[in-house]
Amino acid sequence: MSEDPNQSTEKNGERQPVRIWIYRIFLVVVVVAIGFLGWYSLQLPRPGQPAPMDPTLSALATSLVDAPTLSSGTIQESPSSASTASSTDNAAQGTVFFTARTQARSHIWAYVIGDAEPVQITFGEWDDRNPAFNADDGLLAFTSNRGLYWDLYLLDINSGKLRQLTETPGFEGSPTWSPDGRWIAYEANYDGDFDIYILPVMDDEEVIQLTNHPANDNSPDWDAGGRRIAFISDRDGSPDVFIAKLDQPDERFVNLTHTVELAESDPAYSPQGSLLAYSLERMGFDEILIKELEGELPPSPNGQGHGVRWAPDAKVLIAVLEDPYERWLVSYAYNGGQPPGLPIHFNIEDLFWTAEGLPAAAYQLGEDEAERSPLYKIELTSSDATIDRLSLTPLPGVTAPNASLSDAVDEAFNALRARVAADLGWDFLSTLEHAFVGINDPLPPGLLYDDWLFTGRAFAFSQAAVQAGWVEMVRDDFGGQTYWRVFIRSAEQDGSQGEPLRTPSWDFQVRYEGAPQLYDQGGRIKENIPPGYYVDFTQLAADYGFERVPALPNWRTYYHGARFNEFVFRDHRNWMEAMLELYPNSAIITPTPFMTPTPTPTRTPRPTPTSWWWRWRTPTPIPTSTAFPTPTTG
């Protein structure tokens, strides 16, 4: 006999219809299904990105080389088994890979300890950087924009064959090898913030997303044991050193430093993994600290610089030391080591040190490369040897109160303008706030009597782009002086021009919001890194000989004193030497009339009496035959 669904059942002495139970069960199933679908949707990868963090991380960590047993006693490391023998003076051996900036491009070089000079590894009209070498397979991982977008590449040093590892419109960089050579961890920016990913090199396995946080996670470094990846994250308010424990999913991320309002960068494991070196910016200096991972001792200082890397025997550290204009290599002894001679005299960007030598084939990588022509060629129009003063040259297509520069720098400016326009996709330098400023002209806001704009060797870009939000300034402190690194927003924001910012920029506008503290300190660092793609204008200007100038001491309360938009072509001259290229000494020291400089100069005329309110006649532009290269505007 079938049961009627409308029949009742008993519960606690009360009879309830069966259909009420059916409705309840159905409701529970619906709620569970909705919850499952919501959870599953969060696990799906976003368009154009690798898959999110996978539970296979624990299995990945286990499959790698087991981490060595670490003690919490005295900090001491034995040389890696892969290290070559040290020389009698205890100098570390191996090969130092580094990125150098030459002729307005970044490329990778290698220096074998003991060689006469470094050898260039990559070439081309693009930028290559962040070298990471897998000595077992002879594979050099690096990041490059040679394919329009910033992607990861593998170069087989022995054969010269190149393999592209990633192909996305996003940004990928800072590769670091797993100890078994099967995986590469790297930083990537796909949707406005950096995260860490793990990429299989030889297999068809999927990419693993290690971090998935709204904060910026970057600069990964894989330890020799394979179970940990160090990286930088600002998820706790300021850039700190974090450790990702791959085999501990319940407590995967640990903040190692917890420094408030201080910025760490560039973590680097020692060869055996018991020590971690990193840099800390403090009082305008980059300080190298070394942390014992299993001990209770505070980190110990060990020199200055950033981008620190360990020698294969862990007895020497190398780093990049930076001043307002250059970056160079420095080395420090550690635990009784002796730094070797490193004849690397380049504008260094980043470093990598391996215990192995360089394959012989690497020395032939650049044999077929043609020598590049100079970025520009200075051509003086003056022809009379009886006078050393120079004329002024108009800047074609430039709008400025006096659109001219010294004949000694106009070619450099025109070449810089064309390069910036090509990289940005728009002609940023077509309008200037100032080019040449005459000695008799009223001082513009922010200028001093000895400002470089009077020499004809400097320019100040227009602040209209700043007001439009297309320019970001990052504050750089060096000792007691403040400088600014200028980033310009590119026209195309699809990843084909420029790259994402890695550091929060400075906000000048908050000074006018009524908070006395913000006014007194000249603004503040923005809470979030501005999204989008930018070109490092300060770097490009330096490539073409134009250096930034320091802010005036009163920049916090006087906006024009920041001087972030002024750049000068010094060419090893001081201000007086540059002024004497345009004016006689008497015109600078005492007011005496002076004729305008001309392309074919004549002898200086004798002074004539004038009234007490006399002024100097300002040099005027003299047309020349210098042609201006048409900048790219698309």
Helix (H) or strand (E) holding 38: helix 18-43
Is 2 part of any domain?
no
Least Cα distance to 275 among 91, 78, 442, 522 occurs for: 78
Q: Given pLDDT bands bounded at 50, 70 and 90, which one contains residue 17?
A: low
Computed over every residue of the chain, the mean pLDDT equals 83
Q: How much is the pLDDT for 371?
A: 83
Q: Does position 228 have pLDDT exceeding 60, yes or no? A: yes
Q: How much is the pLDDT for 621?
A: 46
- pLDDT tens per residue, range 62-107: 666 543 433 323 333 433 333 333 333 334 589 999 999 999 999 9
Q: Given pLDDT bands bounded at 50, 70 and 90, which one contains residue 386?
A: low
In this structure, the answer to whether residues 406 and 317 fall within a common structural domain is no
Q: How much is the pLDDT for 284?
A: 83
In this structure, the answer to whether residues 333 and 435 fall within a common structural domain is no
In 103-168 the beta strands, taken as DSSP E runs, fall at: 105-112, 119-120, 128-134, 139-147, 149-156, 162-164
Is 375 part of any domain?
no
Task: Record the pTM.
Answer: 0.82
Helix (H) or strand (E) holding 35: helix 18-43
Residues 6+ apart with CB under 8 A from 368: none
Give how far Cα 587 sits from Cα of 272, 393, 570, Å.
67, 21, 21
Q: How much is the pLDDT for 68?
A: 41
Q: Does position 591 have pLDDT exceeding 60, yes or no? A: no
Q: How much is the pLDDT for 21?
A: 62
In this structure, the answer to whether residues 175 and 233 fall within a common structural domain is yes
Q: Given pLDDT bands bounded at 50, 70 and 90, which one contains residue 227?
A: very high
In this structure, the answer to whether residues 195 and 275 fall within a common structural domain is yes
Q: Does position 611 have pLDDT exceeding 50, yes or no? A: no
Question: Dihedral, CA atoms, 320, 321, 322, 325, nearest 10 degrees?
Answer: -90
Tokens of 361: 């084939």
Q: Please return the burial class of 20, using the count of CB atoms within 10 Å of its CB with bins 0-12, 13-18 and 19+.
A: exposed
- Across 165-179, 381-395, 582-596, the highest mean pLDDT is recorded for 165-179
Residues 6+ apart with CB under 8 A from 517: none
In this structure, the answer to whether residues 408 and 537 fall within a common structural domain is yes
Is 229 part of any domain?
yes
Give the residue with greater pLDDT, 219 vs 446. 219
Domains: count for the chain? 3
Q: What is d(CA 562, CA 471) in angstroms, rounded to the nearest whole number?
A: 14
Q: How much is the pLDDT for 368?
A: 76
Is 624 part of any domain?
no
In this structure, the answer to whether residues 229 and 301 fall within a common structural domain is yes
| Mean local confidence (pLDDT), 195-212 | 92
Q: How much is the pLDDT for 12?
A: 46
In degrees and rounded to multiples of 5, residue 59 shows phi and psi of -65, -35
Q: How much is the pLDDT for 630?
A: 41
Give the residue with greater pLDDT, 608 vs 59. 59
Tokens of 38: 């919501």
Question: Which CATH number belongs to the domain containing residue 240 in this structure?
Answer: 2.120.10.30
Mean pLDDT lowest for which of 124-128, 236-240, 369-373, 618-622?
618-622
Contact between 315 and 92 under an 8 Å Cβ cutoff? The reply is: yes
Q: Does position 302 have pLDDT exceeding 50, yes or no? A: yes
Is 562 part of any domain?
yes
| Mean local confidence (pLDDT), 214-233 | 96
Q: Given pLDDT bands bounded at 50, 70 and 90, which one contains residue 32?
A: low
Q: How much is the pLDDT for 5?
A: 45
In this structure, the answer to whether residues 118 and 24 fall within a common structural domain is no
Is 500 part of any domain?
yes
- Across 40-54, 281-295, 396-410, 511-525, the highest mean pLDDT is recorded for 396-410
Percent of the chain past pLDDT 70, that is, above it, reads 78
Give the residue with greater pLDDT, 599 vs 572. 572
Q: Does position 610 have pLDDT exceeding 70, yes or no? A: no
As beta bridge partners, residue 99 has: 108, 350
- pLDDT tens per residue, range 148-161: 999 999 999 999 99
Is the torsion defined by CA of 60, 65, 66, 72 positive or negative? negative
- pLDDT tens per residue, range 429-481: 999 999 999 988 877 776 778 899 999 999 999 999 999 999 999 999 998 89
Angle in degrees, CA 403, 404, 408, rounded to 5? 155
Q: Given pLDDT bands bounded at 50, 70 and 90, which one contains residue 198?
A: very high
In this structure, the answer to whether residues 294 and 252 fall within a common structural domain is yes
Domain that holds residue 140: 56-66+93-364
Q: What is d(CA 277, CA 302) in angstroms, rounded to the nearest whole number?
A: 9
In this structure, the answer to whether residues 211 and 288 fall within a common structural domain is yes
